[in-house]
A and B are shown apart, each in its own frame.
Chain A
Amino acid sequence: MNSNPPQKRGLTAIDGAMVLIVILLIVQIWLLSATLESYLAGHREAALPGAVISGVLFAACLALYRFVDRIDSEIRRG
């Protein structure tokens, strides 16, 4: 049985989601710089996969944000 109060568990979940968002953001920054480097070197074929993967990462970040928002609202309501 979990002895942690619901508020503490909620905060742990939020912290975990935030860490995941930070990791996704770092990957996205790397992806943008790699795509730009490739584009400036004249390789235009990398632009589409870069945009698609960046879109997927953004969607994941948005889903995590909605998760944090929901948990935060629940904690505040008690």
Chain B
Amino acid sequence: MSWFRKPSSTPLWRDEFSVHTADERYVNRRQFTKFLTLTSFGMLVGNLWIFARSAFHRAPTYPRVKVAATDEIPAGGVKIFFYPTADDPCILVRTGHDSFVAFSQKCTHLSCAVYFEKKQNRLECPCHQGFFSIADGSVIQGPPQRPLPRVRLENENGHLVAIGMEAESA
């Protein structure tokens, strides 16, 4: 046994700290395949989560909220209200003598507030020129892909009452 280190070009610290980074970082085929299989398991968990959410989904319940008196708005006039919560602005439009429609005011593209364009008789989003039909909230033109959610209304002794929403997504 020698008490002295043999002359060598390798520095002393390399002999004493024998961890090789390249070897540590080396990933072989088996490890890579295991990683891919775990990723596949992650995708399966995602799909199962969506299924669980669908299976245990309950139909939302909506409150009955008085929106306006029928004589409060002139023909072609609008009123902004909040339904079903204080964070959900909606727009009520009087389209005729006895006809009213109400939609969510959030554009289905990027949630800008839509407004009623009386001359064109349609709802318009000023952000990206998305136009919606006043009859049913369907998309006429622009980037939105989905119609505006419609508020179901009831006439209760001269008062319009919001009773629910249509075309709600999950």
Closest 6 CB pairs of A and B: A47-B54, A54-B47, A44-B54, A51-B51, A61-B40, A28-B43
A47 to B146, CA, bound (A): 20
B89 smallest CB distance to A (angstroms): 21
How many chain-B residues does the 8 Å CB contact rule pick out? 27
Q: What are the interface flags for B121-156 relative to A under an 8 Å C-beta threshold, 1 for contact and 0 otherwise?
A: 000000000000000000000000010000000000
Residues of B whose CB lies within 8 Å of any CB of A are 28-30, 32-34, 36-37, 39-41, 43-44, 46-48, 50-51, 53-55, 57, 146, 167-170
Q: Is the interface of B mostly helix, strand, loop or mixed?
A: helix
A1 within 8 A of B: no
A39 to B46, CA, bound (A): 12
Residues of B contacting A31 with CB < 8 Å? 43, 47
Q: What are the interface flags for A23-67 relative to B under an 8 Å C-beta threshold, 1 for contact and 0 otherwise?
A: 011001101100110011110100110110011011001101100
